[in-house]
Amino acid sequence: MTSSDLVTGFVVLVIFGSVTSLIAYALSLSVRYRRRVLQNQERMAALEKGTPLPELIEEQMTPWSGRIYLLRGMMWLFSGIAMVVFLSALAGYSRQTPNMERRLERTQDLKRLGATDGQISEA
């Protein structure tokens, strides 16, 4: 397996993971929106009939605690660390040495421009 195959695999994996997470997030937002619409309709119907309002779901009534903020911060931290590791690995594996054809073209270009043999060997 060559390094370009590894880089291609990493890129495909990252794109797949990003698309999957975006779809999951969009679906969760859609479900939450539908739930809120149904709750609103239920409460409006109760108001029109003059019956007592139904209880709100506890999920929406719970206050944010410090643990939630800590959890979110840790998620961002470890996501950032994972991105740094991935991009460092990607940069390390993506370095390719020029092939022989490209080096010969470069040498011929330098000769045509009038470079000396010492300058060509340095390049």
Closest CA to 41 of 30, 29, 31, 53: 53
Rounded percentage of the chain residues whose pLDDT exceeds 70: 87
Q: d(Cα 2, Cα 4) in Å, to the nearest integer?
A: 5
Of residues 45 and 69, the one with the higher pLDDT is: 45
Query: Residues near 47 by Cβ (< 8 Å), separated by ≥ 6?
Result: 53
State the chain's mean pLDDT as an integer.
Answer: 83
**CA separation, residue 8 to residues 58, 73, 120 (Å):** 46, 31, 34
Q: d(Cα 33, Cα 26) in Å, to the nearest integer?
A: 10
User: What pLDDT is stored for residue 48 in this prediction?
Assistant: 92
Residue 11 zone, left/alpha/beta (φ > 0; ψ -120 to 50; rest): alpha
- Residue 91, burial from CB neighbour count under 10 angstroms (0-12, 13-18, 19+): exposed
Region 68-81 average pLDDT: 90
Rounded percentage of the chain residues whose pLDDT exceeds 90: 21
